[in-house]
Chains A and B, each alone.
Chain A
């Protein structure tokens, strides 16, 4: 059974600070997705990481993937209030087909002025 674990589950931080969210998974899959979810909203795709060593950046967010360690990170640089949301990592099935995503429990991020 594929397991995806995120930590921390809750994070309160001040604007301007840096922090990292960690995502560990239990399969050999090299397809890792990051999503953002605002309260009462659906999932917004942030990044798709497809290979070992992949790094993607968008604004203040940067995601990386280490398939050997089965670890992905989402780094927040100089946080701003607008980044407050819940962030999910998800792993695609390792069966080669469209197996669907297995999600972590999410990291609820609050950024305070």
Chain B
């Protein structure tokens, strides 16, 4: 099992430029999450998908952030334009439920630096 795959691992961009992150969840995991982790902090949920539907995007800064999950499999998260404060690690996770127990698997993350 490949796990949750994210790319790129690192990205350095100038402020006001666009950037996109990609995530391929574990096969069969219908629920996908994007989290942002600032330095020295815990991850914070940005958006949650159930299949291709965004069911919770209340924490997504919609003026500059967008996300999509076409066909309910892989997902992209976009920032346009990026600001200095967007520098963080962006984590993708997917979840499954087995015998009533929900398990979450996180990808390795994309470390974004905005200069």
Chain A residues with CB under 8 Å of chain B are 4, 31, 33, 40-43, 45, 48, 50, 88, 90, 92, 98-106, 108
Stretch among B20-28, B37-45, B68-76 lining the A interface:
B37-45
List chain B positions with a Cβ less than 8 A from chain A: 31, 33, 40-45, 48, 50, 56, 91, 95, 97, 100-109, 111
Contact residues in B for A102 (Cβ distance below 8 Å): 45
- Specify which of B41, B42, B103 lies most central, judged by the most chain A CB atoms within 10 Å of its CB: B42
Option from B44, B95, B101 in Cβ contact (under 8 Å) with A98? B95
Bound state CA distance, A95 and B4, in angstroms?
25
In the complex, chain B residues whose CB is within 8 Å of the CB of A41: 108
Which of A31, A50, A100, A106 is the one whose CB lies under 8 Å from B45? A100
Shortest CB distance B38–A (Å) = 10
Measured in the bound complex, the distance between the Cα atoms of B43 and A36 in whole Å is 12
* Chain B residues in 8 Å Cβ range of A100: 33, 45, 48, 56
**B95: chain A residues within 8 A (beta carbon):** 98
On chain A, the residues within 8 Å of B106 by CB distance are: 42-43
Contact B42 A104 (CB under 8 A): yes
A-B contact pairs, 23 of them (CB 8 A): A4-B42, A31-B102, A40-B111, A41-B108, A42-B107, A42-B108, A43-B106, A45-B105, A48-B101, A48-B103, A50-B100, A88-B42, A88-B43, A90-B42, A92-B102, A98-B102, A99-B56, A100-B45, A100-B48, A101-B104, A104-B42, A105-B42, A106-B40
Distance to closest chain B CB from A59 (angstroms): 20
Chain B residues lying within 8 Å of A101, measured Cβ to Cβ, are 43, 45, 104
Nearest CB in chain B to that of A103: its residue: B42
Residue of A nearest to B107 (CB): A42
Residue of B40, B104, B108, B109 with most partner-chain A CB within 10 A: B104
